Amino acid sequence: MNAKETLIRNRWRYISFVVGFFLFVAPFALFTRAVYLIVGNTAEPTLHSVCFRMPIDWIFGGRFYSIFGSSWFMAAFVFGVIISSIFLGAAFCGWLCPVGAVSEAISRAVPIPNKFRLRIRDTKLTMSMRYGFLVGFIAVAALVGYKLASDQLGSICCRYCASSVLQNFASALFGDLSAIEYWQSGAIISLLFWLVIGGLFMSGGRGWCLFFCPLGAFSGLAHKLGARLGFYRIEHKPESCNGCNKCQDVCPMWAIKEDHNIERTLCVNCKECVHACDAYKLIRGRKIADS
Amino acid sequence: MKTKYILGFVLVIAITLSLGAYSATLGKSELVHFWVAVPAGNVTAPMVLRGAGPPISMSPIVIDLQSRGVLKNLLQPQLEGLSTHWIYNLGKKPVKVKLNLANVPPDIAVDWEVNSGFEFDAATHTFKTPLYPGGSVPNLGIDWVFHIPAYYMDEPVIYDGGLEVIDADTGAVLTFIPIKFVNGAASSSATQGGSCH
Ligand code: SF4
Ligand code: SF4
């Protein structure tokens, strides 16, 4: 599929990603700015102001005072994203998140042959690795937060942060070059995994999302629950399927199973499969699944 | 068949824990994050300050530049940073907080990158809003980036100063956190102080 087709097919999603950039990334951060204005917070909002990971780290590390303190907005945002995934699928990941958008865009823009890109076709394996990270993330948060191993372990959350790398690049792009002057090793590792390994050399460009983002992992679980309850989801109709596997090739989240059903913990609701094949149908509103 | 899923699961947990362990090492030598509270006096040893608000742990900060990550030492050895997101007033009266990095050699330039819920005067490094007892500076992020000239890089002690937290109205130093940049374990018994949490 050529770039023009990809652009046309994804036009609404790409427009949404641009909107997401303006909503969350400084110097714009319009969403956060509006909330700050309403609550009288004079801080300059950045992508950190809605950190995708810290509230999760706080909960499992026992830092409840952070959730209810001055960072309540960050926590409300993360819970909002997770809860909305029950009803809308992981729409934040597929339609708004600037971190996922940039790595996906880089993967699409750089034409590396597919044979040089990793894709795990076994969704159970991808899932076990994704949730292995989540368990590890939670374990580190708890061991550090409850001071059970705070000398041996340090934060995964802040030390390896793609959001902060993205925000620094965006700030530099809009004139604040000091934002990219200092690099700590964790940021260099994050950049390499987010854009090079996960972006360029993983098919779909969503390696960070698949294996390194606790918010994405929780949103996937919420979507799975929502789909079970009959809320918004994409379903595969086997009677319309000719087994060509095109859906597996286009899915950036490696979420299509061998039988072409969707592994909902991985799906970000991007609708690439729906565009690629008539066998995929959107189920809106509440309708109990037959699958 | 199931073995590969268990292996994948366990492998990624192990990688994540290893990254946590690496983070602990980096956290003591790269962009060290530390907590600040007033009034603590001279922080000569690890301490926990109690008063209005949550107990705050502080300690002298010793950064061994040789303990930094390979990537950092390879790509950007002459820049080192410190950071705080937390300044608390555990005392009994409101304080207008002014910050000062003491004893910085004239040829080491330090950039102050400050984002704060309180208005901050970049010229005098002073928060314009008083910090009330039990309160903290909201949505704070301060990074200090030290530009170390090449000829300092072999010195056993590169920086020996600290952060003064001053009452802007009276000029009194309420808290002093010693900060040292050293080169190699021989210069210091242990790298200590600071974390992201
Ligand atoms: S998985 Fe994380 S980084 Fe990826 S799109 Fe979702 S929130 Fe963003
Ligand atoms: S299963 Fe379909 S909607 Fe879900 S991530 Fe894959 S292509 Fe996108």
For residue A5, the model assigns a pLDDT of 86
Q: Which residue has the higher pLDDT, B115 or A100?
A: A100
Give tens-digit pLDDT for A37-86. 998 887 789 998 899 999 999 999 998 877 887 678 899 999 999 999 99
- At A285, the amino acid letter reads G
Does A251 reside within a domain? Answer: no
Q: What is the mean pLDDT of residues A192-221?
A: 98
In eight-state DSSP terms, residue B131 is: B
Chain B: nearest CA to A189, how far in angstroms? 8
For residue A284, the model assigns a pLDDT of 81
- Has residue B190 got a pLDDT over 50? no
Specify the pairing of strand B97-102 against strand B157-167: antiparallel
Does A175 reside within a domain? Answer: yes
Q: How many CB atoms within 10 Å of residue B70?
A: 9
Q: What are phi and psi of B118, to 5 degrees?
A: -100, 145
Q: Do A150 and B197 touch (CB under 8 A)?
A: yes
- Residue pair B70/A187 in contact (Cβ under 8 Å)? The answer is no
For residue B192, the model assigns a pLDDT of 39
- Has residue A24 got a pLDDT over 90? yes
Q: Do B20 and A158 touch (CB under 8 A)?
A: no
- Has residue B187 got a pLDDT over 60? no
Atom 5 of ligand 2, nearest CA residue: A267
Q: What is the mean pLDDT of residues A5-33?
A: 95
Q: What is the mean pLDDT of residues B64-81?
A: 94
For residue A42, the model assigns a pLDDT of 77
Question: Scanning every residue of chain B, which has its alpha carbon at the shortest distance from the alpha carbon of A65?
Answer: B54
Of B13, B118, B141, the CB nearest to A135: B13
Q: CB-based contact (8 Å) between B197 and chain A?
A: yes
Tell how far the Cα of A234 is from the centroid of ligand 2, in angstroms: 8
Residue A144: which of B126, B77, B17 has the closest Cα? B17
Lowest-confidence pick of A20-24, A166-170, B106-110, B135-139: B135-139
Tell how far the Cα of A274 is from the centroid of ligand 2, in angstroms: 8
Give tens-digit pLDDT for A192-206. 999 999 999 999 999
**Domain range holding A29?**
3-231
The total number of structural domains in chain A stands at 1
Which tokens hold the place of A45? 């909002």
For residue B117, the model assigns a pLDDT of 85
- At B158, the amino acid letter reads I
- Has residue A87 got a pLDDT over 60? yes
Average pLDDT, chain A: 93
Tell me the three-class secondary structure of B86-113, residue by residue: EEEECCCCCECEEEEEECCCCCCEEEEE
CATH code for the part of the protein at B32-196: 2.60.40.2310
Place of tokens 């490696």: A254
Of A65, A154, A181, the CB nearest to B24: A154
For residue A287, the model assigns a pLDDT of 65
- Has residue B188 got a pLDDT over 50? no
Spatial distance between the Cα atoms of B84 and B194, rounded to a whole number of angstroms: 9
Contacts of A140 in chain B (CB under 8 A): 16-17, 20
Closest ligand to C-alpha of residue A204 is 2
Residue B116: which of B127, B108, B124 has the closest Cα? B127
Average pLDDT, chain B: 92
- Interface test mutation site (partner B, options A33, A53, A182, max chain B beta carbons within 10 A): A182
Of chain A, the percentage scoring pLDDT greater than 70 comes to 97
- Has residue B191 got a pLDDT over 60? no
Q: CB-based contact (8 Å) between B121 and chain A?
A: no
Lowest-confidence pick of A38-52, A97-111, A129-143, A251-265: A38-52
The answer, yes or no, to whether the previous bond of B77 is cis (omega within 30 of 0) is no
Tell how far the Cα of A267 is from the centroid of ligand 2, in angstroms: 5
Contacts of A46 in chain B (CB under 8 A): 115
Give the rounded distance of the alpha carbon of A141 from its chain centre.
Answer: 20
- pLDDT level of residue B66 (50, 70, 90 thresholds): very high
For residue B186, the model assigns a pLDDT of 44
Q: What is the mean pLDDT of residues A225-231?
A: 95
- Residue pair A77/A34 in contact (Cβ under 8 Å)? The answer is no
Give tens-digit pLDDT for B7-59. 999 999 999 999 999 999 998 999 999 999 999 999 999 999 999 988 999 99
Q: Which of A97, A256, A278 to mutate to test the pocket of ligand 2 (most atoms within 8 A of CB)?
A: A256
- Has residue B62 got a pLDDT over 80? yes
Spatial distance between the Cα atoms of A248 and A45, rounded to a whole number of angstroms: 39
For residue B38, the model assigns a pLDDT of 97
Spatial distance between the Cα atoms of A200 and A206, rounded to a whole number of angstroms: 9
- Has residue A291 got a pLDDT over 60? no
Q: CB-based contact (8 Å) between B53 and chain A?
A: no
Question: Scanning every residue of chain B, which has its alpha carbon at the shortest distance from the alpha carbon of A131?
Answer: B9
Q: Do A49 and B139 touch (CB under 8 A)?
A: yes
Question: What does the DSSP assignment read for A140-195?
Answer: HHHHHHTTSSTTT---STTTS-HHHHHHHHHHHHTT-GGGGT---HHHHHHHIIII
For residue B189, the model assigns a pLDDT of 38
Q: What is the mean pLDDT of residues A108-133?
A: 96
CA dihedral angle for residue A226, residue A229, residue A233, residue A238, rounded to 10 degrees: 140
Give tens-digit pLDDT for B135-159. 999 889 999 999 999 999 989 999 9
Q: Tell me, what's the ipTM?
A: 0.93
Q: Which positions ≥6 away from A32 have C-beta within 8 Å?
A: A23, A24, A45, A46, A49, A50, A73
